[in-house]
Amino acid sequence: MSVATAPPARISRMTGWLGTLTSTDHKRMGLTLGGLSLLYFLLGGLFALLMRTQLAQSNMHFVSDNSYNELFTMHGSTMIYLFVTPMAIALAVYLVPLQIGATGISAPRLALAGLWTWICGGLIMQQGWFASGGAGRAGWSSYAPLSNGTNTPGVGQDLWVIGVILAAAGMAAMAGCVVATIARRRAPGMALLRMPVFTWTALVTVLMVVASFPILVLVMVLLYIDRHGGHIFTGFTGAIDYQDLFWFFGHPVVYVMFFPYLGAAAEAIAVCSHKRWFGYIAFVASMMAFAAMSTAVWSHHMYTTGGVTNQYFAFTSTLLLVPAGVEYFDAIGTLIGGALVLRTSMLFALTFFLQFLVGGLSGVFVASPVLDYQVYGTYMIVAHFHYTLFAGSIFGFFAGVYHWFPKFTGALLRERLGKLQLVLMVIGTNLTFFPMFFLGNDGMPRRVSRYPTHPGWGTLNELETIGAGIIALGVLVFLVNVWTSLRRRVPAGDDPWLGHTLEWATSSPPPPLNFDRPLPPIRSYAPLLDLRHEEMDRGGEPAEVSAAR
């Protein structure tokens, strides 16, 4: 049953940077969070390039061991806490109210407070670079006892812990606002099973954030106390307790960093195929199953510790293949028989599914305790992790950017530059991460700043460094594309793609209260597609047929 739209919140009319940073308009908050997350993506990418330069050859001395550990820690932390996860929430904050026909987000001041808390957390985390002793260097997971005050002394690690606490708390606050918006502010007719595909993926995401991020805040508070004489994570049991708590957050966050980009790719495929998303109900059920099971698999990261029941977690981890298979089946079903238009958004979406397939299939291997014992400390895990999160999430992110950029800005991105970016990123991604499977199979350890001379290792690491440079070139092409498209605008109109969902029923960019015209009747998740089909039934040619021609 849908819920009537609540009275709109008062929108700040201030202009400039002050207006942007104090606005309770969900669109400005989403753009601010997304823009800052993109800056952190560039920073995290710079850290990765420095690391790959160090690893280009064996026994390199481009950076010191301590500096490498700092780069390693801050690269992972920046990408996870300050880019992939907050970018997912930024998309939800911006798009969900539009897609469900709401005039704004629930508890906008709480959402703004969450944004500011996240901003402060990111700045404090990066302040470690200027602290005595350098930035945090215990890894993005900061396992105990490596991260205690004895093994990782210095202010930088404390700043890292405080930054993670604030960033996680801010994201949890914004996620709670999105949950409340979906629960209380859906337009008349917008039942739960009429919500768009992206909104469903966003709902599952923010529910997992609300459920798991307080655990991260708790474990970081306990770690801070432990670092200052609290003696909480001591001995073998303390190390296991830390990992249990951390990975109870850490595995759901993998899907937090995946689901919204899956939703973005699904929206792009459906619109560019001029079809409804195939198997909508099954897709929604698979999302809910994924979210539920994500809280039952955390200890598959701990097979080698001897502190968990490996058989149980191997079973639950392998069971995740079932909902994943449903999602792939739905994507293929949507493509079959569609009037396909191979825009950049469509190509990124297709590449998202293909690249993530590599990460998913390699996940079957690491879900097996027998195989995981052999590869856990090797580059096999690095390859799997990056095919899951980088090759998966980043390509889904760019599918969403090219799909919704006209709605965000009112301008079109250049298709030729977009396709050039896609080619560069596909080449760079596979050149960077695929050789890691061979290195892992050959026993090259991960989390090391230097490695011994070994047949083939130097060549494969050189290829990975070249691939990282090609990825950077692809990102540069994207930035040029955005700059050019905003400086030399090609007006997009309100609905350049013949979209299916309500965000395309308003102006581009949307007005302060989102909709300046009556909403169409909502009879399914795709009300605009329904409207065009009604026009066809009245005797006219549907607009999507003309566009396909």
- Express each pLDDT in 325-362 by its tens digit: 999 999 999 999 999 999 999 999 999 999 999 998 99
Q: How far apart are CA 526 and CA 126, in angstroms?
A: 43
So what's the pLDDT on residue 59? 87
Q: How far is CA 131 from CA 122, 138, 154, 192, 311, in A?
A: 15, 15, 8, 49, 44
Name the token pair of 504.
Answer: 């395309």
Dihedral in degrees, nearest 10, Cα atoms 250, 255, 261, 264: -150
Burial class from Cβ neighbours inside 10 Å (0-12, 13-18, 19+) for residue 516 reads exposed
What is the rounded distance in angstroms from the CA atom of residue 380 to the CA atom of residue 302? Answer: 16
Q: Look at residues 499, 494, 476 and name the one whose alpha carbon lies nearest to residue 411.
A: 494
Type of residue at 307? G
Structure tokens at 338: 């569609």
Q: How far apart are CA 545 and CA 182, in angstroms?
A: 33
Whole-angstrom distance, CA of residue 398 vs CA of residue 293: 27
Contact partners, residue 337, CB within 8 Å, separation at least 6: 275
Distance CA 420, CA 463 (A): 21
CA distances from 145 to 148, 152, 225, 232, 391 (A): 5, 9, 13, 10, 32
Take residue 473 and report the two structure tokens written for it.
Answer: 């070139």
Residue 220 structure tokens: 């970081």
- What's the residue count for the chain? 549
User: Looking at residue 9, what DSSP letter applies?
Assistant: P
Structural element, H or E, at residue 209: helix 197-225
> Which of 17, 180, 18, 214 has the alpha carbon at shortest distance from 100?
180
> CA–CA separation, 422 vs 350, rounded Å?
11
CA 301, CA 437: separation in Å to the nearest integer?
18
Residue appearing with tokens 């890292």:
160
Regions of the chain with pLDDT less than 50? 1-9, 543-549
> What does pTM read for this prediction?
0.93
Q: What is Dmax (Cα atoms) for the chain?
A: 77
> Could you write out the DSSP letters of every residue in 76-89?
HHHHIIIIIHHHHH
Return the structure tokens found at 436. Answer: 């890691």
Structure confidence at residue 366 (pLDDT): 87
Cβ neighbours around 248 below 10 Å, total:
18
Where do the DSSP E strands lie in 374-495?
none
Buried b / exposed e along 198-221 (16+ C-beta atoms within 10 A)? bbbbbbbbbbbbbbbbebbbebbe
Tally the C-alpha atoms within 13 A of residue 122's C-alpha that lie toward its C-beta.
26
pLDDT of residue 541: 54
Q: Specify the DSSP class assigned to residue 338.
A: -
Joined together, the tokens standing for residue 322 give 């079932």
Tell me the CATH number for domain 16-548.
1.20.210.10
d(CA 311, CA 343): 45
Distance CA 262, CA 278 (A): 14
HEC profile of 170-188: HHHHHHHHHHHHHHHCCCC
Burial class (CB in 10 A: 0-12, 13-18, 19+), 458: middle
**CA gap 243, 142 in Å, rounded:** 10
Distance CA 291, CA 242 (A): 23
Rounded distance, CA 516 to CA 340, Å? 31
* Amino acid in the structure at residue 489: R
Q: In the numeric block, which tokens belong to residue 389?
A: 């999160």
CA proximity to 372, closest of 445, 300, 318, 433: 300
pLDDT score for 542: 52
Strand, helix or coil at 445?
A: strand
Helix (DSSP H) and strand (DSSP E) numbers for the chain: 20, 0
- How much is the CA Rg of the chain, to the nearest whole Å? 23
- The Cα 199–Cα 501 span in angstroms is 10
User: Helix or strand or coil: residue 491?
Assistant: strand
Question: What's residue 543's pLDDT?
Answer: 47
The confidence score (pLDDT) of residue 223 equals 96
Nearest to 242 by CA among 166, 384, 138: 138
